[in-house]
C-alpha cells in the first residue's frame, strides 16, 4: 500500500512545529520585555507595583572613612570656577541615557537643558512627578537634582543615584551650558 506524502499526520506535525516555534518566540519576547523594560507603564495593572529593573550605581567613593572634615563651599563659588572639559568626562556617566543631538534616548535630550523649562521636551514621556514640576533648569536646580534625583523629585523615572561631588555636578552643568544645541 503506497502512502501519500501529505497525509493528515504530516500536516498535524507541521502545524504543531509552527505553533511550538511561535510559542517559543512569544515566551522569549515576554522574557526580554520583563528584563529590559524601559517604560514606566509596566504590564497592565502592574504599573504602580513595579519599578524599573535596574539602577545605575554611583561609582564615587563615599567620604565616610573618617578623613579630613570637608569645608562647606557654596555651589555658586564652585560653579564660577567650573571646567566644562572636566564636565565632558563626567557626562560620560549620563550619555548612556541622554543625548546632546536633539534626539531622545531612555531619557530626554540634554542639549539646551540649562535654562529650559522642566519637562519641556515635547516628544518625551515624562513621569507624572517630573511633569508636575514648575520652573526651569537653572544651574542651582540642576545641582540639587543631580545630587540625588529621586529625593529631589520623588517619583522621577530617572534611576541614576546621583553625583556626590559638588565639583562634578558643577563641571557637568558647565559642560551642558556650553552645549546649548
pLDDT at position 33 is 80
Q: What is the pLDDT of residues 45-71, one digit of tens each?
A: 444 444 555 566 665 555 555 555 666
pLDDT at position 162 is 92
- Give 63's DSSP letter: S
Secondary structure tally for the chain: helices H, strands E: 7, 0
- Residue 1's pLDDT band, with cuts at 50, 70 and 90, is very low
Q: Work out the average pLDDT over 156-175.
A: 93
Average pLDDT, the chain: 83
Residue 142 covered by a domain: yes
Position with higher pLDDT, 44 vs 30? 30
Q: Are residues 105 and 161 located together in one domain of the fold?
A: yes
Distance of alpha carbon 79 from alpha carbon 168, whole angstroms: 10
Q: How much of the chain exceeds pLDDT 70, in percent?
A: 76
CA dihedral 159, 160, 166, 168 (to 10 degrees): -150
Residue 69 covered by a domain: no
Q: What cell was used for 162?
A: 546621583
Where in the sequence is the domain holding 134, given as residue range(s)? Answer: 75-178
DSSP string, 138-157: -HHHHHHHHH-HHHHSTT-S
- Residue 37's pLDDT band, with cuts at 50, 70 and 90, is low
CB 159 within 8 A of CB 52: yes
CB 99 within 8 A of CB 110: yes
Q: Are residues 86 and 168 located together in one domain of the fold?
A: yes
- CATH number of domain containing 148: 1.10.760.10
- Residue 181's pLDDT band, with cuts at 50, 70 and 90, is low
Residue 30 covered by a domain: yes
Which one of 5-9, 28-32, 66-70 scores highest in mean pLDDT?
28-32
Q: Are residues 98 and 16 located together in one domain of the fold?
A: no
pLDDT at position 47 is 47
Residue 160 covered by a domain: yes
Number of domains in the chain: 2
Q: Are residues 35 and 115 located together in one domain of the fold?
A: no
Neighbouring-strand partners of residue 117: 136
Residue 55 covered by a domain: no
Residue 35 covered by a domain: yes
CB 48 within 8 A of CB 127: no
Distance of alpha carbon 50 from alpha carbon 39, whole angstroms: 11
Residue 61 covered by a domain: no
Say which range, 35-39, 97-101, 141-145, 156-160, has the weakest mean pLDDT: 35-39
Whole-angstrom CA distances from 69 to 33, 40, 66, 143 are 46, 40, 8, 22
CB 171 within 8 A of CB 76: no
Q: Are residues 89 and 170 located together in one domain of the fold?
A: yes
Amino acid at each position: 500500500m503506497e502512502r501519500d506524502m501529505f497525509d493528515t499526520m504530516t500536516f498535524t506535525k507541521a502545524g504543531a512545529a509552527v505553533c511550538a516555534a511561535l510559542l517559543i518566540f512569544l515566551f522569549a519576547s515576554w522574557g526580554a520585555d520583563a528584563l529590559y523594560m524601559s517604560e514606566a507603564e509596566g504590564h497592565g495593572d502592574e504599573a504602580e507595583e513595579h519599578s524599573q529593573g535596574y539602577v545605575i550605581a554611583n561609582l564615587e567613593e563615599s567620604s565616610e572613612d573618617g578623613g579630613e572634615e570637608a569645608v562647606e563651599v557654596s555651589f555658586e563659588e564652585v560653579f564660577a570656577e567650573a571646567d566644562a572639559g572636566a564636565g565632558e568626562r563626567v557626562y560620560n556617566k549620563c550619555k548612556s541615557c541622554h543625548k546632546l543631538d536633539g534626539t531622545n534616548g531612555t531619557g530626554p535630550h540634554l542639549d539646551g537643558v540649562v535654562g529650559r523649562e522642566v519637562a519641556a521636551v515635547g516628544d518625551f514621556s515624562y513621569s507624572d512627578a517630573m511633569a508636575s514640576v514648575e520652573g526651569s533648569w537653572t544651574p542651582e536646580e540642576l545641582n540639587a537634582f543631580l545630587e540625588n534625583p529621586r529625593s529631589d523629585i520623588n517619583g522621577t523615572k530617572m534611576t541614576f543615584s546621583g553625583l556626590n561631588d559638588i565639583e562634578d555636578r558643577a563641571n557637568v552643568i558647565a559642560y551642558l551650558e556650553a552645549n546649548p544645541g
